[in-house]
Amino acid sequence: MKRIAVFASGNGTNLQAIMDAISRGALKADLALVVSDKRRALALKRAARRGVKTLLLDPKDFGNRRDYDAALLGFLKKENIDVVVLAGFMRILSPLFVRAYKNRILNIHPALLPAFPGDSAIKDAHRYGVKVTGVTVHFVDEKVDHGPIIVQVSLPVRDAETLEDLEKRIHEAEHAIYPQAIASVLAGEAVLKGRRVLRRRKKS
């Protein structure tokens, strides 16, 4: 069974969805480590309640991003981590880190990439007045919100919908789609060919 590490900076609702999927058998993975860069991240408490090993790595203790990521890699190597899952991790990973886990880092983004990259995607899409937005799960490469797309789900934006209502529906979609996408990658069903991710059916 693949050993995964989840990186989260905040509340950890996507982490919770991943842990719940593992508990009910929908996601076959060994959640070996939860990493955060924020001391007060609720994600760390969620993991601890489930008995999952946690790691707080404060960027203030490091001189630069490369040193931080080198330390991260050391911990991941020690824990024999196969795949890294970003779940609201608000730090940009260095090329050093991305190359070490090439095509083995997943991220979820609350918009239909390449539209609305960045950390205010839901607000940007709502403000722009789009009729359709959604969620993207993608592999991480050395550019921000740029890697090959694993799966996307679209959501129509309702007339007169508030930003808060849209955020709620986007997050609900994230919680549904992310464990499924992770499962497909771990099972070898998502095959990367250039920038395209092809779905390979499991042999019966």
Catalytic annotation, residues:
109
Provide the β-strand partners of residue 159.
Answer: none
If phi > 0 it is left, if psi is from -120 to 50 it is alpha, else beta; for residue 49 that is alpha
Residue 48 to residue 53: CA distance in whole angstroms? 7
Omega cis (within 30) before 117 = no
- For residue 30, what are the CA distances in angstroms to 5, 7, 21, 37, 110? 9, 15, 12, 22, 26
